[in-house]
Structure 1
Amino acid sequence: MAYGQFAHIYDQLMQDVPYDKWVSFVQTVKQRYMGEDSNPFSVVDVGCGTGELAVRFAQQGWEVSGVDLSESMLAIAHEKASASGHSIPLFEQNMAELEGFNGVDCITIFCDSLNYLETEEDVKRTFQSAFNQLKKGGLLLFDVHSLYKMSQVFMNNTFTSVEEEVSYIWNSFPGDFPNSVEHELSFFVKEEESDRYLRFDELHFQRTFDVETYKNWLKEVGFAVKSITGDYSTEHLADHTERVFFVAQK
């Protein structure tokens, strides 16, 4: 799935996303499983999008690289990294086919990027790909939508936003696979120095699996599953958790 025109308004739509909570999660996990003195700390941010998390990771003093499938997203990430004064290598790669990061300390796949994979095999290949690139003791950190969120929050629901610069209508329908949704989005973007709005449409697919399935796939690859928690916490997983966080160690 390529984000196309969506890349150019992505940051406007994601202004309220709590990126700092992901950073805090990585900081806590890093200290817990690798120790306070684990510097330099190398991170590959997979599904880095426009670089919001990658830049924040670099601001922690970590050695950061970014990976994404969208050339448009990576172009914006490059501009953002340059403006922040950080040198962040960026690579257009499929997360199931990572290469060139041999022996990295940590790989992150955040903001439900893993849910864009359509098949079980793609998820398994991604876990194997990450395992191959990590050093012994390295960490794979990722989050996914919970079954609750897919069935109770997304499924057959409509979301709308009306703002001066960008408005949207977002419909979610059942996908062809179990626990999958198709997000049908129509955006209305105000032209500069004009009262006209341009419309464009995107169709996004997401799929998730139950916690035990993810856990078993990680173990099959060779990971030790260190924790499974909910909604940015490192302490608990509740029935109504919407975002499930996994910590796996090679």
Structure 2
Amino acid sequence: MAIYDQYAKVYDDSGQIAFSIKMIPYLEGLLQLHPVPGCTMLDLACGTGTVALSFAKQGWEVYGVDASQPMLDQAKQKAEQTSQELILSQQDMRAFVVPHRLALITCLYDSLNYMLSLGDLTQVFRCVAAALLPDGVFMGDMNTRVTLEEVWGNNTFFVEREGIALVMLSSFESQSGLSTVDIAGFVRQDDGRYSRFDEHHAEIAYPDEQVRAALEAAGLQVEAAYECFHFEPPEEDARRIMWVARKPGDRR
């Protein structure tokens, strides 16, 4: 079963929405430091659309791409409930296309770490470069090895919210740098019983120099790498890095 399938309906309520809410003002701060040529954007791996909707509410033309149709369904429902327009499509982030080039592309919540080969990661960046206007900007965050090895490691995590319980079993392979997380979710139904869903997630962390090289190979110029949610370069023990890269163009 695809990831973020049954999980989609309870994704926000399980607490995951907190990351997106925290990301919104951070992106606004980044845009002050890295201005873009217009108010058109794509949120790549947009999930339930929280970040995309925040830009739409500010008058941006907003596209959202995700591999999970159930997640897109949640984003569509939220857009309808708030009378906002999102242009949503189900696509593979390694081969996505948009109707016209855009000023800003974001890819958030370690979605890039789901690219399990450097070739796949570079292909995402190539698609990003093709979809950006000249002088357009890409912003994407990635988990570091510190997170996958030391924070997640080989552990069991529990999340409990009203009517929702998640059991997450993480495993880290030191040689490959691959982290896998098996999720068992339990959702209370109207009759009081719980239904179960299971998902298998896998992420890999890339050294900074490989990410930088992949961005540059795709034709993007790295403007900054920040410790995520801050505006300073990452320390050695940084858990998440925000990459900012620009497509070369005339800035006049």
What range is the shorter-chain TM-score in? over 0.9
The answer to whether 1:49 aligns with 2:61 is no
Query: Which digits, 9 at most, give the CA deviation of each residue in 1:142-182, with x for residues without a partner?
Result: 00101110110111011012344011111101259722111
Q: Is the 8 A contact 1:44 1:66 kept in 2?
A: yes
Question: Is 1:156 the equivalent of 2:154?
Answer: yes
1:3 corresponding residue in structure 2: 4
The CA deviation string for residues 212-243 of structure 1, in whole angstroms up to 9 with x for no partner, is 11011111222110000112112231232211
Write the letter of the residue equivalent to 1:130. V
Give the aligned partner of residue 213 of structure 1: 210
Q: One-letter code of the match for 1:210?
A: P
Question: What's the TM-score once normalised by structure 2's chain length?
Answer: 0.91
**CA separation in 2, counterparts of 1:15 and 1:223?**
30
- Over the aligned positions, Cα root-mean-square deviation in angstroms equals 1.8
Distance 1:102 1:16, change over 3 A: closer
Q: How many pairs does the alignment contain?
A: 246
For the residue of structure 2 that corresponds to 1:97, the secondary structure is coil
What is aligned with 2:89?
91
User: For residue 222 of structure 2, what is the aligned residue in structure 1?
Assistant: 225
* Deviation digits for residues 40-73 of structure 1 (CA, Å, limit 9, x no counterpart): 4111000001111111121222211100001111
Alpha-carbon distance between aligned partners in 1 of 2:53 and 2:17, rounded to the nearest angstrom = 17
Q: C-alpha distance in 1, partners of 2:9/2:174?
A: 29
Match of 1:191 among 184, 189, 192: 189
Partner of 2:19: 18
Q: Corresponding residue for 1:123?
A: 121
CA contact (8 A) 1:101 1:134 kept: no
Structure 1 counterpart of 2:234, from 195, 212, 237: 237
Q: Is the 8 A contact 1:177 1:207 kept in 2?
A: no
Q: Secondary structure at the match of 1:48?
A: coil
Report SS of the residue matched to 2:238.
Answer: coil
Q: Is the 8 A contact 1:42 1:64 kept in 2?
A: yes
Q: Which moved more, 1:146-155 or 1:56-65?
A: 56-65
Match for residue 135 of structure 2? 137
Q: Which residue, 85, 102, 105 being the options, matches 1:104?
A: 102
Q: In the alignment, residue 150 of structure 2 is paired with which amino acid?
A: Q
Distance 2:160 2:27 in 1: 34
Measured in 1, the distance between the counterparts of 2:50 and 2:100 equals: 24
State the shift of 1:208 in Å: 1.6
Q: Deviation at 1:16?
A: 5.9
Please name the residue that 1:203 is paired with: 200
Compute the displacement of 1:108 (Å).
0.4
Greater shift after overlay, 215-224 or 66-75? Answer: 215-224
Structure 2 unaligned segments of length 5 or more: list them: 248-252
Task: Give the drift of 1:209.
Answer: 0.4
Measure, in 1, the Cα distance between the counterparts of 2:175 and 2:115. 12
Identity %: 28
Query: Which residue does the alignment assign to 2:73?
Result: 75
TM-score for both structures, normalised by structure 1: 0.92
Q: Which runs of 4+ in 1 moved over 3 A?
A: none
Contact 2:3 2:200 in 1 (8 A): no
